[in-house]
Amino acid sequence: MNNILKKAFVLLASLGGIAAQAQVAPFRKGDRVVFAGNSITDGGHYHSYIWLYYMTRFPDQRIDIFNAGIGGDVAAQILGRFDGDILPKKPTAIALTFGMNDTRYMEYLQPGADEMAAKAVQTSFESYQQIEKKLKALPSVRKILMSSSPYDETTKGKGNYYPGKSKAMLKVAEFQEAAAKKNNWAFVDFNRPMTAINQQFQQNDSTFTICGGDRVHPGQDGHMVMAYIFLKAQGFANKEVADVVVDANQKKIQRATNSAVTNLAVTNGRIQFDYLAKALPYPLDTVPRGWGATTRQSEVVNLVDFTKEFNHEMFTVKGLQADKKYLLLIDKDTVGSFTGAQWAEGINLAGISRTPQYQQATAVMLLNEERWELERKFRQHAWVEFNILKEHGRLNKDDVNSMALLQELGKENGWIRGNLDNYSKSRMPAIREAWQKQIEVLVSTIYTINQPKNRHCEIRMLN
């Protein structure tokens, strides 16, 4: 077995646990799913990428996904805002993660780090037990516990090195998993599969990480890996967008999975038919998005086999001349040319951004990004409310005294200064209402333009 095959085998084996997690019930039409967590949820994209899958794969089954992350939070802080931040979103499902901040940072560089870590894990567990009581009081709400994405302790050449932190985070993941099992709730492990990916790629590049420049916050590729893990746990791997097989010799449709193919005509080396899929391909963003982003969602294909497992829109045509080239047009747009041998093997249209349906899906993706940007304004507001104003007795006051307090505190606190501009607007209920209306318009538009369209396809031999 050569080195490449060995590495592939090790990676597949290490990711094998993802399949075993396939216990998270798929979301249903009308679901309101709240992802609660810290900055990885607050400023991250994984939940947005999960929603994009549902937007494109189930266009007639609207769900709503809500970001309920706040940067810097530990389990105790999530507990403290559970009633005021999570429940008002009226969830039918709650996906909860914590652990990164619970396990501390600089303390690992000081004497007694092992004892500190044990106490930190115990404190996190005790806070979780209080959250668990609240979750149990919601029998109609589905619960999903998620371990944190990992702290990358093994990457080289980066700062923020806290030896032992990753072990403490695994302890948190272990009690999260045990709690899910005890309560018969779903559990998704981000920590171990992402760690396995990091360590595998670090064999060739010691500076590699999907956990960002600070070892903590995944890049956009890392967030797409998180979405991949979550969707895999929901059992969506190997569910095709569509699969069409045409026999040119017999002039018949052999297969049309998750799609309808009509009006087939085969004449003089030309094949034409109308094609209506029930889903859209999953669009992968090629632009880094979000504050400080340096990686792209599309880079996920270098880390896991997302295309093979989640993004198959197959066109197969049998009976063409193997060595001849055939042009594919969809709605008169040129998609590309492929040999008869390639057509016989099958063309994955989901990997071709030129198709009209991929461009349609891209519009959905970009609208979803606009929605994400607006939702971030609400999360900045929540950070100010629950992490600053609450301890000063000014939670949800929305008044000039709150603004004045923040301006004073901001003289010594750069995080507060960075949020002043947003809060100066978000403290106005009318502005928050306007933002919420914009989000609703965006989501409604998404669930209007994501409807698959009947496409006219033409395959013809090139001279």
Spatial separation of the C-alpha atoms in residues 148 and 101, rounded to whole Å? 10
Amino acid at 3: N
C-alpha span between 64 and 60 (Å, rounded): 13
Please list the ranges in the chain whose pLDDT falls under 70: 1-22
Tell me the Cα Rg of the chain: 25
Is the Cβ–Cβ distance between 296 and 286 less than 8 Å? yes
Question: Which pLDDT does position 15 carry in this prediction?
Answer: 57
- 69-to-145, 380, 421 alpha-carbon distances in Å: 14, 10, 20
Q: What is the pLDDT of residue 17?
A: 52
CB 316 within 8 A of CB 346: yes
Q: What is the pLDDT of residues 173-229, one digit of tens each?
A: 999 999 999 999 999 999 999 999 999 999 999 999 999 999 999 999 999 999 999
Q: How far apart are CA 208 and CA 340, in angstroms?
A: 40
The pLDDT, as a whole number, for residue 16 is 52
459 forms beta bridges with 271, 328
Closest CA to 367 of 440, 451, 311: 440
* Three-state DSSP class for residue 237: coil
* Structure tokens given for 159: 């700062």
Residue spans of alpha helices (H) in 275-346: 306-310, 340-345
**Residue 330 bridge partners (DSSP):** 333, 457
Q: In whole angstroms, what is the distance from residue 276 CA to residue 269 CA?
A: 23
Cα dihedral 16, 17, 18, 21 sign: positive
For residue 348, the cross-strand partners are: 314
In whole angstroms, what is the distance from residue 447 CA to residue 168 CA? 42
Separation CA 123–CA 340 (nearest Å): 64
Determine the Cα–Cα distance for residues 211 and 202; give it in Å rounded to an integer.
12
Q: Nearest-CA neighbor of 304 among 413, 375, 201?
A: 201
**3-state DSSP call for residue 270?**
strand
All structural domains of the chain, each given as residue ranges with its CATH number in brackets, are 3-233 (3.40.50.1110), 242-279+296-356+451-461 (2.60.40), 361-449 (no CATH)
CA distance 353 to 360: 10
DSSP string for 185-215: -EEE--HHHHHHHHHHHTTT-TT--SS-TTS
Residue 168: its pLDDT value, please? 98
Report pLDDT for 283.
98
Let me know if 270 is exposed, middle or buried by CB neighbors in 10 A (0-12, 13-18, 19+): middle
Cα separations in angstroms, 122 against 38, 77, 80, 103, 129: 18, 15, 18, 10, 11
Three-state DSSP at 246 gives strand
Q: Which residues pair with 135 in a beta bridge?
A: none
The pLDDT, as a whole number, for residue 292 is 79
* Amino acid 1: pLDDT: 37
| Amino acid, res. 357 | Q
- The pairing of strands 142-146 and 186-188 is parallel
DSSP 68: E
Measured CA to CA, the distance from residue 208 to residue 215 in angstroms comes to 10
